[in-house]
A and B are shown apart, each in its own frame.
Chain A
Amino acid sequence: MTLLFQLLVNGLIVGALYGVVAMSFVLIYKASRIVNFAQGEFLLIGAWTCWWLLTSWQLPFWIGFPITLAFMLVFGIVLQVVVLRPMIGEPIISVIMVTIGLSIFFQAMMKWMFGVFAKPFPTIFASPTVNILGLDVQTVYVMSLVISLLIMAGFGWFFKYSRMGLAMRATAFDQQVAQSLGISVRHMFAMSWAISAMVSAVAGVTVGVVNGVSSALSFFGIKVFPAVILGGLDSVAGAVLGGLIVGVLENLAHYLDSQWLNWGNMYEIAPFYVLIVILMIKPYGLFGTKDIERV
């Protein structure tokens, strides 16, 4: 029983991390309806940047990390200005393809700049693990859990009540109308990309600290798709919840698998089965807004 319990705790903790990445998807989607296939590379860029600051400049984590976030903010804006701005008003699917191009580009660039070998993060926390409910958990996971909750609350408020948040939603709904209201579509996009890049960096650093940084981290970008969808594409809280659910599901599936079924690989596949079932019942995920179907 303790195994099951520990797995559940682990699921929640890892799920929170998925939630952070999922959130960074949702941010871009909410402002532009773009699915960013380069999200994984954002993660990677964040992780490498932080790693570089910490190893080459010997900065302490508490300085290096905020600098990383600031850098990612700028990076998001620059990326938007240079690459995505000309695509405003073009079919969304073409923009999605551009993000695929970006992913190829940055993947190679990171390998070029930082090499192909996995590199360890310097020790950051005095005690690398914390005991939560009987399970030893990497401290950095706890950090990401806390940050993700803060970010989530922040964005919940932002999209519901702030003027910019409303403008972002309007832009996503209809760019032309948004422009007619005096909203600068460019600014909105730049903002969403910047924030999203920043949020992914949080996840990137977390994963990097745990596993070491390597190009393969970018795989997280695709891994969280089920979480995003489960929560509902345009819901920030949903993203986090979706992440938690996927995290728990993985661990639960692994439990069933290892204890009884022995099919292997269940932890990877089971979330997808559950995803389909949930979507058949709730076609817009748990918190997604329904499309308005009127004639």
Chain B
Amino acid sequence: MANISLIPCGDFKTRYAADTTIFPTRTSRNFAILGVALLLLCPAFMDRYWLNLCIQIGYLGIAALGLNILVGFTGQISIGHAAFFGFGAFSSAWLSNSFGIPVALAIPLAGVMTTAVGMLFGIPAARLKGLYLAIATLAAQYILQDFFSRADWFTGGTAGTIAEPFSLFGYAFDTDESFFYVVLVYVVVMYILATNLMRSRDGRALVAVRDHYLSAEIMGINLTKYRTMSFGISSFYAGIGGALYAHYLQFVSVEGFTILFSIQFLGMIIIGGLGSIMGSLMGTAFMVLLPEVMQAITTALSGTAIDAALNLREAIAFLREMAIGLVIILFLVFEPDGLAHRWKQIKAYWKLYPFSH
């Protein structure tokens, strides 16, 4: 995961404030703002299929960012993220169903509830490291899943529970077009919060714990606190993501939050780039779009000459799944550091051009 330590030419800062901004240059910042503005227009020209994909990328991206904070920034692998995602979904539904709390409020509250649960399951992090910790999170996955199917009062048991649509001032955001904005706001806010976190004290402490926990401790960082807290923060993100998911589908069922889903979350951040905030979103997009692209290819193929010649028919579904696996493998073989890394290299290339060598 070697980094390039070059400072692009033309990077002269005269004030420390200017050196700590989120966007290194004015142009990049303007581009980001423009990007968000363009996204605001999406519902006008995208159909529900695309909006749905964007919404999926949105809420999964928030949860993936949480996992990246835990895995990428703090170095604690978790294979139980889907359970926390699910907990957020159930919490939000429960809060709004049982207590009549408006959904707009229930979502952040669900985030807080999930944080608490996350910290509870983060306690082993004080003593466990690496894969031992990872398997402890696997235990969290199974224990929570079991809890979901048992706790009728909370989750509706195995039958699942309905979740109210998101509404604000009496306006219900129950279409893809309107819910898109809800997710967009959450994505922007959550990503900015994370960016801020990572450039301030506690974020740095998390990274320090990842890179060298022994010296981090000697630099005054309370390992137990930060390791547990990292679980908390990550669960908070998972909870928010899950809550958005719940109010989008308006139905939550235990079935959705399996270990495979947890592994998919891991896939998102590894492909996006560990320890990269924007990478989380890119990785999510990759993992969400990959099956869709493969499906599109499959659809395009079926009925064509190739299909007829090879008699794909039944095979095609399996070939598609195999292709998904293969793309993941190939991607990692050629880009083991993730999308964010490639993105950085592209940027560096252009900045340093023609002196890229």
A/B: CB atoms within 8 Å of each other: yes
- Where the two chains meet, the residues of A that have a C-beta atom closer than 8 Å to any C-beta of B are 29, 35, 37, 83, 86-87, 90-91, 93-98, 100-109, 111-112, 222, 225-226, 228-229, 233, 263, 265, 268-269, 272-273, 275-276, 279-280, 283-285, 288, 291, 293, 295
Contact across chains for B139 and A276 when beta carbons are under 8 A apart: yes
Chain B nearest CB from A270 CB (Å) reads 10
- Among B124, B135, B215, B318, the one with the most A-chain Cβ atoms within 10 Å of its Cβ is B135
Contact A97 B267 (CB under 8 A): yes
Since A222-B138, A222-B259 are in contact, a sample of 12 more A-B pairs with Cβ atoms closer than 8 Å, ordered by chain A residue number, is A35-B131, A94-B338, A95-B332, A97-B332, A98-B328, A101-B327, A101-B328, A111-B318, A225-B135, A233-B132, A280-B128, A283-B127
User: B337 near A: Cβ within 8 Å?
Assistant: yes
Looking at the assembled complex, report how far the CB atom of A137 sits from the nearest CB atom of chain B, in whole angstroms: 27
Contacting pair A112 B322 (CB below 8 A): yes
> Does B297 have its Cβ within 8 Å of any Cβ on chain A?
no
Known: A98-B332, A276-B139, A293-B214. A109 touches B132 (CB 8 A): no
Q: Tell me whether B329 is interfacial, beta carbon within 8 Å.
A: yes
CB contacts (< 8 Å) of B321 on chain A: these are 104-105, 107-108, 111
List, in ascending order, chain A residues with CB within 8 A of B206's CB.
none
Report Cα–Cα, A222/B315, bound state, in Å. 27
CB–CB B124/A105 < 8 A: no
Cβ-defined contact, B139 with A275, below 8 A: yes
Contact with A along B306-325 (1 / 0, CB 8 A): 00000000010011111011
Q: Which residue of A lies closest to B271 (CB)?
A: A97
Contact A285 B325, beta carbon cutoff 8 Å: no
Q: Determine if B270 and A97 form an interchain contact, defined as CB atoms under 8 angstroms apart.
A: yes
B202 proximal to A (CB < 8 A): no
Closest to A116 in B: B318
A276 touches B336 (CB 8 A): no
- B1 CB-CB contact with A under 8 Å: yes
A sample of 11 inter-chain contacts (CB < 8 A) reads A87-B332, A93-B71, A101-B329, A105-B326, A109-B322, A112-B319, A229-B132, A272-B142, A275-B139, A279-B136, A293-B214
> Are the CB atoms of B329 and A91 closer together than 8 Å?
no
Are B132 and A226 interface neighbours, CB within 8 A? no
Assess whether B325 is in contact with A105, with CB atoms less than 8 Å apart.
Answer: yes
Partner of B139, one of A29, A96, A101, A273: A273
* Given known A-B contacts A83-B329, A233-B131, A279-B132, A269 and B124 have beta carbons under 8 A apart: no
Asked if A86 and B325 sit within 8 Å, CB to CB, the answer is no
Please name all residues of chain A whose beta carbon is closer than 8 Å to the beta carbon of B34 when the two chains form the complex.
Answer: none
B32 within 8 A of A: no
**CB-CB < 8 A to B218: which residues of A?**
295
In this assembly, does B146 line the interface, its C-beta being within 8 Å of a C-beta of chain A? yes
Cα–Cα distance between A259 and B88 once the two chains are bound (Å): 35
- Bound Cα distance A131, B95 (Å): 55
Chain A contacts for B325, CB-based, 8 A? 101-108
The residue of chain B having its C-beta at the shortest distance from the C-beta of A107 within the complex is: B321
Task: Bin chain B's interface residue count.
Answer: 35 or more
Contact A295 B214 (CB under 8 A): yes
Residue numbers in B under 8 Å from A107 (CB-CB):
321, 325
User: B300 near A: Cβ within 8 Å?
Assistant: no
- Given contacts A94-B270, A105-B329, A276-B136, are A283 and B129 in contact (CB under 8 A)? yes
How many angstroms between the C-alpha atoms of A285 and B95 in the bound complex?
39
Rounded to whole Å, the gap between the CB of B81 and the closest CB of chain A is 14
Task: Give chain B nearest CB distance to A96 CB in angstroms.
Answer: 8
Residues of B within 8 A of A268 (CB): 142, 146
Known pairs A269-B142, A272-B142, A295-B214; A94 contacts B332 (CB<8 A):
yes
Known contacts A37-B263, A108-B318; is-contact A284 B132 (Cβ 8 Å):
yes
For residue A293, which residues in chain B have a CB less than 8 angstroms away from its CB? 214
- Which residues of B lie under 8 Å from residue A105 when comparing CB positions? 321-322, 325-326, 329
* B244 CB within 8 Å of chain A: no
How many Å lie between the Cα of A83 and that of B326 in the bound state?
10
Quote the shortest CB–CB distance from A266 to chain B (angstroms): 9
CA distance in complex: A151, B132 (Å): 24
Are B129 and A90 touching (Cβ within 8 A)? no
Question: Is the CB of B333 closer than 8 A to any CB of chain A?
Answer: yes
Interface-central residue, A87, A97, A263, by most chain B CB under 10 Å: A97
- Name, among B138, B319, B320, the residue most crowded by chain A CB atoms within 10 Å (CB to CB): B138
Contacts of B333 in A (CB 8 A): 83, 86-87, 98
Residues of B within 8 A of A269 (CB): 142-143, 146
B151 to chain A, nearest CB (A): 12
| B65 interface contact, C-beta 8 A | no
Complex CA distance for A126 and B128, rounded to whole angstroms: 48
In whole angstroms, how far apart are the Cα atoms of A100 and B324 in the complex?
11
Question: In the complex, are the beta carbons of B328 and A100 less than 8 A apart?
Answer: yes
> A102 touching B329 by the CB < 8 A rule?
yes
CA distance A87 to B322 in the complex (A): 20
Query: Would B132 and A283 count as touching, CB distance under 8 A?
Result: yes
Q: Are A273 and B329 in contact (CB under 8 A)?
A: no
Binary contact track B133-160/A, C-beta < 8 Å → 1, others 0: 0111011001100100110000000000
Q: Given that A269-B142, A269-B143 are known contacts, is A101 also in contact with B127, CB under 8 Å in the complex?
A: no
CB distance from A161 to the nearest CB of B (A): 26
Q: Complex: how many Å from CA A126 to CA B124?
A: 49
Q: From known contacts A109-B318, A226-B139, A283-B128, infer whether A97 and B146 are also in contact, taking CB-CB under 8 Å.
A: no
